[in-house]
Amino acid sequence: GESVGLHLPTLSVQEGDNSIINCAYSNSASDYFIWYKQESGKGPQFIIDIRSNMDKRQGQRVTVLLNKTVKHLSLQIAATQPGDSAVYFCAETSSGNTGKLIFGQGTTLQVKP
């Protein structure tokens, strides 16, 4: 596998605050990026995606920002709720990469009531 096997960093936020989760991706040829949410004992759940021809995309309460210059991706969650507590992964792929997704390190988000 190509992802890094490190222990996950943790972000702790107060309920109602905004959360920002960051990710550094590895392949400059990657042209499609996705954020996933994973709850304990479950598979990853799609949150939002962005293509390399964009630098920002908004969904419901979530925004993804892409900085190709420094190969950086971020996920912003507005008005964080207890149900947002989970592990968040960014994933990257390229159109010439047979579609395989390579996952980033992941961040644990803890929401304090």
Q: Which residues bind another protein (CB under 8 A)?
A: 1-8, 32, 34, 36, 41-46, 49, 89, 91, 93, 98-106
Looking at residue 22, the DSSP 8-state letter turns out to be: E
Amino acid identity of residue 40, one-letter, is S
Nearest to 23 by CA among 40, 43, 3: 3
Sign, CA dihedral 107-101-62-41, equals: negative
Residue (85 or 103) nearer to another protein, CB = 103
Smallest distance from another protein to CB 53, Å: 13
23 by Cβ neighbours in 10 Å (0-12 / 13-18 / 19+) ranks as buried
Helix, strand, coil percentages (3-state) for the chain, rounded to 5, are: 5, 50, 50
Residue (46 or 79) nearer to another protein, CB = 46
Smallest distance from another protein to CB 51, Å: 8
Residue (13 or 49) nearer to another protein, CB = 49
Smallest distance from another protein to CB 16, Å: 27
Smallest distance from another protein to CB 93, Å: 7
